Amino acid sequence: MTSFPALLLRADSIAAQGAFAEAQADFFDPDPETLVGLRERLAATQAGVVAHFYMDPELQGVLYGADWPHIHISDSLAMADRAIAMAEAGATSIAVLGVDFMSENVRAMLDAAGHNDVGVYRVRQESIGCSLAASAEAIAYGAYLERAASTPNSVHVVYINTSLRTKAHAHLKVPTITCTSSNVLRTVLQAFAQEPEINLWFGPDTYMGENLANMLRAISAMDNATIAALHPAHDQRSINRLRKRFHYFEAGTCIVHHMFGAEVVARIRRDYGDDTHITAHLEVPGEMFGLALEARESGHGVVGSTSDILSYIRTKVEEAGSRSQEQRLRFVLGTEAGMVTAIVHDLRPTLARHPHVTAEIIFPVASDALAITEDRDLPVVPGVSGGEGCSSAGGCATCPYMKMNTIDALFDLLDRIHRKAPDLSAFEPRKYLERLGGETIAAVGSRPILHMRSFQRTGELPESLLGAAMGRLA
């Protein structure tokens, strides 16, 4: 008997163990009428939809099932990339299903690509917040950046999951580049490769910062050949030197990933064998991250972004399919439970080719708690009473902010776009009309994102960023 709810995926079936897993499985095969309704609305408006992996399973199921070329579900960085591709392919507006900083990033990147005429809309008039993004707006983060600004040779690496306002104000204080969970380690290593005397300040995600520090410590214990395989400019000596110059903010957390703590890890160790695959997002607490790092050493784990987790599970199932005997793989999902819809969608073709493989997706969620907050807008974090399964003692399955996006809200938005409703502006991303240093916040806040784009394209951090950090540029 297992400790946590689970889904068992096979070529011809999906079996759910536990009420939480059953709630996820209900929506993998969406209602045909709903699919028709979405297709008709998208065709009438020539709209595109970009959504995050953490969407509600009902909404994700409909999006995956819809026959429309301009629908994409991914992590936050790829959402903006695909929105640009949709605009280039003829989409006249983009519905962004996520939290508010995601629609801001999509708007900023469309503008930077010359698609100012393409509308960008959220599905709610009210704000869709994010606890992590909010922590970067706090006084404590401003003080952290002031400390960075007063330290010579400083560059700020800010997680993409923050508002344009945060990025803009940070960039005016300290030369700033954004990062994602999939490229943050490469960003850190490359920064120190180009400028060994730099001081690097990461934020606002405390767990990611702590996990990065732990990864750097682990890397420093590797032999030089192994380190060079990670980055050719580094060895033990350089990694130990950069560790002294790496700083991270210590008061920023995501309420979802915060819950994957010591008790969850203890239950996994107690109830699951060494052959269980452990996945962990870079944002989870150190206990879960450390467990996944241990598992990775034996070929049974992955740490990284949502895309890294999805790729790892797909690869392991493909490997199992190459063997002829019956195979049952178990994966502990160390991130938001919304990922399971993408996992099911991704694995179905593979499992269809390999009917002897079973993939078990395990949700490390608690079974008996409802978390009460002091937040006026979000007084209750979903627990089993609300059909979700969060607990401060046993893991948290879903992001309540992401679940503010619903299929009904999307239909309502598309109807408003179709009839050109006068209140559409209320659904647009925040405009940030105030100016900083003679430019709009949107323009200044886009610059750290563009620095990251340059790094992704060239493999090097731009001189305009590092030159400013090192005092070579005025």
pLDDT at 70 over 60: yes
Q: Which of 319, 284, 282 is nearest to 299 (CA)?
A: 319
Taken in order 164, 168, 170, 171, is the CA torsion positive or negative? Answer: positive
- Taking the C-alpha atoms of residue 249 and residue 223, their distance in angstroms, rounded to an integer, is 29
The percentage of residues in the chain with a pLDDT greater than 70, rounded to a whole number, is 89
Q: pLDDT category, 17, cuts 50, 70, 90?
A: confident
Compute the distance between CA of residue 301 and CA of residue 316 in angstroms, rounded to an integer.
10
Give the pLDDT confidence of 339-369 residue by residue, as tens digits.
888 899 999 999 999 999 999 999 886 544 3
CA separation for the pair 400, 378 (Å, rounded)? 8
How sure is the predictor about 258, in pLDDT bands with cuts at 50, 70 and 90?
low
Computed over every residue of the chain, the mean pLDDT equals 86
pLDDT band at residue 470 using 50, 70 and 90 as cut-offs: very high
Q: CA 1, CA 389: separation in Å to the nearest integer?
A: 19
CA pair distance 391, 113, nearest whole angstrom? 42
The CB density around residue 275, as the number of other CB atoms within 10 Å, is 12
Strand partners, 166: none
429: which DSSP letter? P
107-121, 183-197, 323-337, 361-375: which range is least confident on average? 361-375
* C-alpha distance from residue 104 to each of 84, 127, 297 (Å): 14, 12, 38
Q: Helices (DSSP H) in 247-305: which residue ranges?
A: 262-271, 286-297
Cα distance between residue 106 and residue 94, in whole Å: 9
Q: How many CB atoms lie within 10 A of CB 307?
A: 17
* pLDDT above 80 for 120: yes
Distance CA 235, CA 220 (A): 8
Q: Per residue in 156-177, pLDDT tens?
A: 999 988 988 999 999 999 999 9
Residue 205 has pLDDT above 80, yes or no: yes
Query: CATH: 3.50.50.60, 3.60.9.10, 3.40.50.10800, 3.40.50.720. Which one for 32-128+405-427?
Result: 3.40.50.10800
Q: Contact 376/399 with Cβ under 8 angstroms?
A: no
Residue 472, pLDDT score: 72
Q: How many CA atoms lie within 13 A of 444 on its CB side?
A: 21
What is the C-alpha radius of gyration for the chain, rounded to an integer number of angstroms?
Answer: 22
Distance CA 390, CA 381 (A): 7
pLDDT over threshold 90, residue 289: no
pLDDT (average), residues 26-36:
90
Q: Taking the mean position of all CA atoms in its chain, how far away is CA 20?
A: 22
In the predicted structure, residue 39 carries a pLDDT above the cut 90? yes
Q: How confident is the model at residue 264 (pLDDT cuts 50, 70, 90)?
A: confident
The confidence band for 74, taking pLDDT boundaries of 50, 70 and 90, is: confident
Smallest CA-to-CA distance from 132 within 67, 222, 59, 205 is with 205
Residue 19 has pLDDT above 90, yes or no: no
Q: Is the peptide bond before 204 cis (omega within 30 degrees of 0)?
A: yes
The pair of three-digit structure tokens given for residue 358, joined into one six-digit string: 């079973």
Return the pLDDT at 260.
Answer: 60
**What's residue 473's pLDDT?**
61
| CATH of the domain spanning 6-25+255-400, picked from 3.40.50.10800, 3.10.20.30, 3.20.20.60, 3.30.450.20 | 3.40.50.10800
Predicted local distance difference test score (pLDDT) of residue 28: 86
* Residue pair 158/178 in contact by the 8 Å Cβ criterion: yes
First to last CA, the chain: 64
Q: Which two tokens stand for residue 450?
A: 């563009």
Whose CA is closest to 341, among 321, 325, 363?
Answer: 363
Sign of CA dihedral 401, 99, 395, 271: positive
Query: Between 170 and 128, where is the model more confident?
Result: 170
Question: Which neighbouring-strand residues pair with 9?
Answer: 14, 359
DSSP 395: B
In angstroms, rounded to a whole number, what is the distance separating the alpha carbons of residues 239 and 233?
10
pLDDT interval class at 190 (50, 70, 90): very high
d(CA 308, CA 329): 18
Name the nearest CA neighbour of 347 among 148, 64, 126. Answer: 64
pLDDT at 448 over 70: yes
- Per residue in 385-417, pLDDT (tens digit) is 333 434 433 444 567 778 889 999 999 999 999
Find, among 241, 198, 243, the residue nearest to 468 by Cα: 198
